[in-house]
């Protein structure tokens, strides 16, 4: 599946003329995924693994069960 995804991204690049910057890509894997599989997928795609605690546009990239706590005023900073 990782190889298929890599091929889809390559096809998109060829069709659109846009280059995908894999240095900006990150993957987050469930704790149910073995470390060996996580490394395998990360290496095939050429992307970095993350813990899911990052931010995108000032908001958390991962939202847990408590959305109220995640989005309460003062818990985030908009860009």
Domain coordinates in residue numbering, the chain: 1-57
pLDDT-derived band at 61, boundaries 50, 70, 90? low
Query: How many Cβ atoms from other residues are within 10 Å of residue 41's Cβ?
Result: 19
Six token digits for residue 53: 């605690």
Task: Name the band, by pLDDT with cuts 50, 70 and 90, for residue 23.
Answer: confident
Please tell me the predicted confidence (pLDDT) of residue 37.
93
User: Using an 8 Å Cβ cutoff, are 45 and 69 in contact?
Assistant: no
67 falls in which pLDDT band (50, 70, 90)?
low
Mean residue pLDDT of the chain comes to 81
Using pLDDT thresholds of 50, 70 and 90, give the confidence band for residue 24: confident
Render the chain in DSSP notation, one character per residue: -HHHHHHHHHHHHHHH-PPP-GGG-EE---TTS-HHHHHHHHHHHT-EE--S--EETTEESS--S-HHHHTSTTS----
What does the block give as tokens for 29?
Answer: 């894997």
């Amino acid at each position: 599946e990782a190889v298929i995804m890599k091929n889809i991204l390559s096809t998109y690049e060829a069709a659109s003329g846009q280059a995908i910057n894999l240095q900006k890509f990150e993957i987050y894997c469930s704790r149910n995924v073995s470390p060996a599989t996580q490394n395998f997928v990360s290496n095939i795609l050429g992307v970095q693994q993350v813990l899911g605690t990052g931010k995108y546009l000032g908001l958390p990239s991962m939202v847990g069960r408590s959305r109220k706590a995640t989005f309460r005023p003062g818990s985030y900073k908009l860009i």
